[in-house]
Chains A and B, each alone.
Chain A
Amino acid sequence: MANFAIANSTAMGAGNVQAAIAATYKSLVVIGNSTTSTANLGSGMLRRGKLYDILIGTNGTPADNFMEFDVTRVTVGTSSVLGGGLSSLSSTMGLDPADSNGFINLATINTSIETAMTATTEVWYVGINQRASYRWVAAPGSEIVWPAVSSVGPSNGIALRARSAAYTGTATATTLWQEQ
């Protein structure tokens, strides 16, 4: 059970650049199972995931605007559809350097095609001022879990999203999660 950290930053050398926030949700981080091969995924290999830590904020010009963030269950397609895939760098994202095999789930940041995912159920939601940042840490056993199913399931991943009616800068997000 390896732990991984994914931020919606391109500093590690992969993924899309941060997108401007708008009145409709923009996905910052998407993690889920995929039926297609990734760096460490043979066809049919699926893993449950547990999201246990979320850090969010903004990195635009400070102002008093209302921001909304949520984590929703989604049906994830493939990295080629979503864009911003990180699987090629998954071996560098383990919290323990011994977990050098990387993750099997599909992970993307700042996906450019929101319509490639179908949002189903919102499992975490918070509204905060644009100047604020927020952190949520789950106690063991209370993580946000997604099932080890392919795209035919009701949902096979989660998306951390942001929106704002007034703020048009970019938002930051870091997620810590565990692959079972």
Chain B
Amino acid sequence: MLKPGGYAVIFGPLGVQKECDTFSCCHCNSVVHIKPKCNPSDLGGQCRLCDKPVCPKCVGKGCAPFEMKLEKWEARDRALRSYGL
């Protein structure tokens, strides 16, 4: 994968057994392992607004960047704590 979001290695008793790139979904932050030569549609898709890969669970659900979700959660938490809740 061009510009992977991570790298995974499985070490067996005889040494490295399997290695693959990974990417993190830009909408839910899930890590997806990229199986060599797999069908690209099995990996999820590409968000055309973020221009980043999304996992199979987030395909077709609209654009909701994870960073935006984090900021929303933190703003809600700050508000609730300011109210003493």
Binding site for B on A (CB under 8 A): 44, 46, 48, 62, 71, 121-124, 126, 128-129, 131-139, 141-145, 147-150, 152-154
Closest to B3 in A: A139
The answer to whether A131 and B22 have CB atoms under 8 Å apart is no
How many interface contacts (CB-CB < 8 Å) are there between A and B? 88
Our pick among B5, B11, B66 for the contact of A145 (Cβ within 8 Å) is B66
- With a cutoff of 8 Å between Cβ atoms, the chain B residues found around residue A147 in the complex are 70, 73-74, 77
B28 touches A137 (CB 8 A): no
Inter-chain contact A131/B12, CB cutoff 8 Å: yes
Q: Are B23's CB and A142's CB within 8 A?
A: yes
Indicate if the CB atoms of A132 and B17 lie closer than 8 Å.
Answer: yes
- Check if A154 sits within 8 Å of B6, measured CB to CB: no
Interface size on B, residues (CB 8 A): 29
Contact residues in B for A129 (Cβ distance below 8 Å) = 12
The residue that B8 contacts in the complex, of A44, A48, A123, A126, with Cβ under 8 A, is A126
Cα-based distance from A35 to B2 in the complex (angstroms): 41
C-alpha gap A145/B6 in the complex (Å): 14
**0/1 interface trace, chain B 44-85, chain A, CB 8 Å (1 if under):** 000000000000000000000010001001101100110001
A139 close to B11 (CB less than 8 A): no
- A150 touching B5, Cβ below 8 Å: no
Chain B: minimal CB distance from A7 (Å): 17
Cross-chain contact of B24 among A46, A121, A128, A138 (Cβ < 8 A): A138
Least Cβ–Cβ distance between B28 and chain A, in angstroms: 7
The reply to whether A152 and B85 contact each other, CB–CB distance below 8 Å, is yes
Chain B neighbourhood of A44, CB < 8 A = 81
B9 sits at the interface (CB 8 A): yes
Residue of B nearest to A136 (CB): B8
Closest to A123 in B: B30
Contact check, B70 vs A123: say whether CB atoms are below 8 A apart. no
Q: Contacts A44-B81, A123-B31, A145-B66: A135 and B9 contacting too (C-beta < 8 A)?
A: yes
Contact check, B11 vs A135: say whether CB atoms are below 8 A apart: yes
B70 touches A136 (CB 8 A): no
Contact partners of B73 in chain A: CB under 8 A: 147, 149, 153-154
